[in-house]
Copies of this chain bind each other. A is one copy, B any other.
Amino acid sequence: MISVVRDKCPLVHCITNYVTVNDVANAILAVGASPIMSDDISDVRDIVSISQALVINIGTLNKRTVESMIAAGTAANSLSIPVVLDPVGAGASPYRNRTVDELLESVRFSVIRGNLSEMAYINGSASRTKGVDSSMTEADADPVKVALAVSEKTGAVAAITGRIDTVAKDGRVARISSGHADMGRITGTGCMLSGVIGGFVGTGEDPFIMTANAIAAMGAAGLIAHDKAGALGTGSFRVALIDALSTMTDEIINERGQLEIN
């Protein structure tokens, strides 16, 4: 499916955090799509109108950018442009929670991707006492159940990334068991993945299948990067991860992506 991304080179408008934005742009380019970052209310409607996907990431949210997220998201909806949500830190603070609530009320998302804590918040099952550093584990909640519930509640493809990744939509479930623990030792792999999902769904192909394939591509890249650079340290691992994404093919995803669709 990455071949379709490389063929169509969708333009992906990102309203994203300033911590990982450069990695997000490079990851989107690496899979063959094209990123454009724009977050001002005066600009976002016009930029989204020339894009094939919109990615909203609340990592470093503020009043100015939240307003832009809603304006861009509603514009994308009216133009039938798919919108991806990365609810960074949902469950960790009231402001993040209120913002996620507001986004879910105002914007119809094609895909929502988060870790288990964030998705459990959206599902209404999150423990508020856990911080962002102590993510919920599969012992706290079943990712398949949470993903199915979030999908039913929002109408979006729900993707929960963790030790094993889960994608759910309309009762369909995909599980991806590639990826490597090294990915949690650098910042931004989640944000990069959300950007990459934007590129995959920006092709216009089925969002459930494309989201699962995007995650499998990232998981395969994580395994390849670990093989190549895991022993050197996290700086080299990060470079190798982008290298692996930029040389990713459908064959490699099939071989190493460990994607099962039920």
Interface string of A176-206 (1 = CB under 8 A from B): 0000000001111000000000000000000
Chain B: CB-nearest residue to A30: B234
Is A185 a contact partner of B234 (Cβ separation < 8 A)?
no
Interface string of A1-27 (1 = CB under 8 A from B): 000000001010000011111110110
**A155 touches B (CB below 8 Å):** no
In the bound complex, residues from chain B placing their C-beta under 8 Å from that of A18 are 18, 21, 37
In the bound complex, residues from chain B placing their C-beta under 8 Å from that of A188 are 22, 25
Could you tell me how many residues of chain A have their Cβ less than 8 Å away from some Cβ of chain B?
Answer: 60
In the bound complex, residues from chain B placing their C-beta under 8 Å from that of A247 are 233
Chain B: CB-nearest residue to A59: B37
Is A95 a contact partner of B43 (Cβ separation < 8 A)?
yes
**Whole-angstrom CA separation of A247 from B232 in the bound complex:** 8
Asked, given contacts A26-B234, A239-B236, whether A36 binds B246 with beta carbons under 8 Å apart, the answer is no
**Whole-angstrom CA separation of A25 from B234 in the bound complex:** 12
Question: How near does chain B come to A141, taking the closest CB pair, in angstroms?
Answer: 20
Question: How near does chain B come to A64, taking the closest CB pair, in angstroms?
Answer: 7
Partner of A39, one of B38, B62, B238: B62
In the bound complex, residues from chain B placing their C-beta under 8 Å from that of A89 are 36, 38, 47
Residues in A lying within 8 Å of B, measured CB to CB: 9, 11, 17-23, 25-26, 29-30, 34-40, 42-43, 46-47, 50-51, 59-64, 89, 92-96, 131-133, 185-188, 232-236, 238-247
